[in-house]
Chains A and B, each alone.
Chain A
Amino acid sequence: SAVISQKPSRDICQRGTSLTIQCQVDSQVTMMFWYRQQPGQSLTLIATANQGSEATYESGFVIDKFPISRPNLTFSTLTVSNMSPEDSSIYLCSVEGGAQYFGPGTRLTVL
């Protein structure tokens, strides 16, 4: 199984600012994903991030709001841009490595 870490684990941010979340995996993986879990809700896929190509966004999510980088096979970042209180959520990365494994999540609160 893959071991995944995320930074930061939590943050409190002011509206209008941006936050970049990092996801690090202990092995090389082709497919990485970013999910959002709004308070009390289930998980929704934001985008698929494959190395060497642009991220593929799901309906309702756009690159200007959630830019993603995937510079190599072990690392990805998700930026939450121009934040509003509605962006307060847990953001989780996951990797496909025989099964799909999740990082511990980043708990974001926007004031």
Chain B
Amino acid sequence: GEDVEQSLFLSVREGDSSVINCTYTDSSSTYLYWYKQEPGAGLQLLTYIFSNMDMKQDQRLTVLLNKKDKHLSLRIADTQTGDSAIYFCAESMGSSYKLIFGSGTRLLVRP
């Protein structure tokens, strides 16, 4: 069945890089997403990658996709305290476009 897994918690120091990992099971995924959720807020789309790509970079964000291992990662360079939030990865299921979400990774950035 469809399943998306993430580690629950990551703590980094301000200025360091953060790497949040995600694994998924469905090889027919078309898009893979990263969303950010701050306390009491909705979901902010950070970035997404098409399943035939290996890497996507957008300012401080780098997404790596290993399709063979069904592994997705989000690297945040020069992490700031404002990056503290929960980060969700999600896979888009073919032509239905419905998203299957991971459990979310809580990122804590220490000053």
| A interface residue numbers (CB < 8 A to B) | 1, 31, 33, 35, 41-45, 48, 58, 90, 92, 94, 96, 99-105, 107
Complex partner residue of A103 from B42, B96, B97, B98, CB under 8 angstroms: B42
> What's the least CB distance linking A37 to chain B, in Å?
9
Interface flags for B82-111 (1: CB within 8 Å of A; 0: not) read 000000101010001111111110000000
The range of chain B's interface size is 20 to 34
Complex partner residue of B88 from A43, A44, A90, CB under 8 angstroms: A43
Contact A96 B43 (CB under 8 A): no
Contact A42 B101 (CB under 8 A): yes
What chain A residues lie within 8 Å of B90 (beta carbons)? Answer: 43, 100
Contact A100 B42 (CB under 8 A): no
Main DSSP-derived SS at the B contact region: strand
How far is B90's CA from A99's CA once the two chains are assembled, in angstroms? Answer: 12
Q: Which residue of A lies closest to B86 (CB)?
A: A42
* Contacts A100-B97, A102-B44, A105-B42 supplied; 16 other A-B pairs, CB < 8 Å: A33-B98, A42-B88, A42-B101, A42-B103, A42-B104, A43-B43, A43-B88, A43-B90, A43-B101, A48-B97, A92-B43, A94-B99, A102-B35, A102-B42, A103-B42, A104-B42
| B interface residue numbers (CB < 8 A to A) | 31, 33, 35, 40-45, 48, 88, 90, 92, 96-104
Q: Which residue of A lies closest to B41 (CB)?
A: A104
Q: Which residue of B lies closest to A31 (CB)?
A: B97
Complex partner residue of B43 from A31, A44, A58, A102, CB under 8 angstroms: A102
Q: Which residue of B lies closest to A6 (CB)?
A: B42
Known: A92-B42, A92-B43. A100 touches B96 (CB 8 A): no
> What's the least CB distance linking A100 to chain B, in Å?
6
Complex partner residue of B45 from A41, A43, A90, A99, CB under 8 angstroms: A99
